Amino acid sequence: MAKEEMKIGEISKPRFEFRSFGQCFCEAHKRMARLSVPVPEKVWERSSDEIYIISRKNDINNTKIRGGKMDIKTYVKTVDGLEQWNPLMKGEFPISAKVLEEEVFPAFMVEMPKLTKDTYTYEEFIAMVKANPDLAAVRVHKQRFGYMVNDTICEVGNVLING
């Protein structure tokens, strides 16, 4: 049986994630670099600017927008400190009212805004988020360094929130 090739950035099934937050992970960064097998140059260092949509009424779904695309994933369970997440939705702007009504706003667990059009631009969607007191759009800048250790994608990242 052929081993399934792992592609960085491709999301197709539930996966486990672990995060730690602090000021300096220099030793962990060095150790992962030493243990890593070679990875494609495009993942050595990556920077991104994203918008996370956070909901006061929901802590199980994670919604982010990066490069004009929205991803929603949902928390499944925690095993040995690793959180398992399952992709729920991937969409692009402009986004249909049907997707907003059936997938996006139910994931936020907030009252559905009145939709009067068939599709909505990114700017119109963000205006809906800002108009809802239970939602917030948070700017996140990430600088990530990628590794592959024991057939597992690993990253060390610097994260700036609303900076």
Bridge-based pairing of strands 45-55 and 58-66 is antiparallel
Rounding to the nearest 10 degrees, give the CA dihedral for residues 79, 80, 81, 85.
Answer: -20
DSSP 101: I
Q: Give the model's confidence band at 4: pLDDT under 50 very low, under 70 low, under 90 confident, else very high.
A: low
Domains and CATH numbers, the chain: 15-161 (2.40.320)
Is residue 107 within 8 A of residue 54, CB to CB? The reply is no
pTM: 0.85
Chain segment 92-103, per-residue pLDDT in tens: 999 999 999 999
Helices (H), 26-139: 26-35, 97-99, 105-108, 122-131
How much is the mean pLDDT over the chain?
90
pLDDT in the model for residue 153: 86
